Structures are given as C-alpha cells and as structure tokens.
Amino acid sequence: MKRSEIAKYFAKFGKRGGKARAKKLTAVQRKESARKAAQARWAKVKKMGIANLDRRGPYG
C-alpha cells in the first residue's frame, strides 16, 4: 500500500472517532473539554502577542 492509500484508510476512522467520543461523554464532560480547548486557543494567541481582540475571539 502506498502512503496516501494508508492515510485515506485511516482517515475514515478519524471521522467516526470524534462523533463516537462525543456520544460517550456526558454534557458536563463535553463542556469541560470545550473549556480546555478554548483556554488552549487563547493561550496560543497570548503567546503570539496578539492584542486588542474583540469578543469574537482569536479566530473571529
């Protein structure tokens, strides 16, 4: 198998994996995961030294 064929094969699992994981998590767990992701995004922005962002967020 070529590398691109292998990547396509495993990409199918990645697409299913997120939905399956979300189904398993409780609402509280999903909220916590989203909170951590938002904190990580904002930390990245602060590290880059971007200032004067509005309420829409760093990717806005």
In a domain, 58, yes or no: no
Q: How many domains does the chain have?
A: 1
Place of tokens 């829409």: 56
Give 2-45 pLDDT, tens digit per residue: 888 888 888 877 777 777 888 899 999 999 999 999 999 888 87
pLDDT tens track for 28-38: 999 999 999 99
Distance CA 51, CA 37 (A): 20
Domain residue limits at 28: 3-48
59 located within any domain: no
Higher pLDDT, 58 or 34: 34
C-beta separation of 24 from 8 below 8 A: no
Query: Would you say residue 54 lies in a domain?
Result: no
